[in-house]
Amino acid sequence: MKVAVLALQGAFIEHEQMLKRLGVESFEVRKLSDWQKPKDGLILPGGESTVQMRLMASLQLFDPIRQAINEGLPVFGTCAGMILLSEGRLGTMDVRVRRNAYGRQLGSFHAYGQVEGIGDDVPMTFIRAPYIDEVLSPRCRPLAVLDHHIVAAQQGRQLATSFHPELDCDLRLHQYFVQMLAS
**Please, what are the domains in the chain?**
2-182 (3.40.50.880)
Which residue out of 14, 16, 79, 174 is catalytically annotated?
A: 79
Nearest to 156 by CA among 141, 143, 145: 141
pLDDT at position 62 is 98
The model's pLDDT over 127-139, given as tens digits with 9 standing for 90+, comes to 989 999 999 999 9
pLDDT at position 99 is 85
Q: Which residue type does 69 have? A: I
Which stretches within the chain are classed as H helix? 12-21, 32-35, 49-58, 62-70, 80-85, 172-182
Determine whether 79 is an active site residue. yes
The model's pLDDT over 83-105, given as tens digits with 9 standing for 90+, comes to 999 999 999 999 999 987 766 65
Residue 145 reports pLDDT greater than 80: yes
| Spatial separation of the C-alpha atoms in residues 2 and 14, rounded to whole Å | 16
pLDDT at position 111 is 96
Phi, psi of 42 (to 5 degrees): -140, 140
Who's near 62: CB < 8 A, 6+ residues apart? 53, 56, 90
pLDDT at position 5 is 98
The model's pLDDT over 151-183, given as tens digits with 9 standing for 90+, comes to 999 999 999 999 999 999 999 999 999 999 998
Output the average pLDDT for the chain. 95
pLDDT at position 151 is 98
| Spatial separation of the C-alpha atoms in residues 154 and 142, rounded to whole Å | 7
Q: Which residue type does 107 have? A: G
Determine whether 164 is an active site residue. yes
Strand ranges, E, within 58-171: 75-78, 95-98, 109-115, 119-126, 131-135, 140-146, 149-155, 158-161
Residue 48 reports pLDDT greater than 90: yes
Which residue out of 14, 16, 140, 166 is catalytically annotated?
A: 166
Which residue out of 15, 16, 164, 174 is catalytically annotated?
A: 164
pLDDT at position 105 is 59
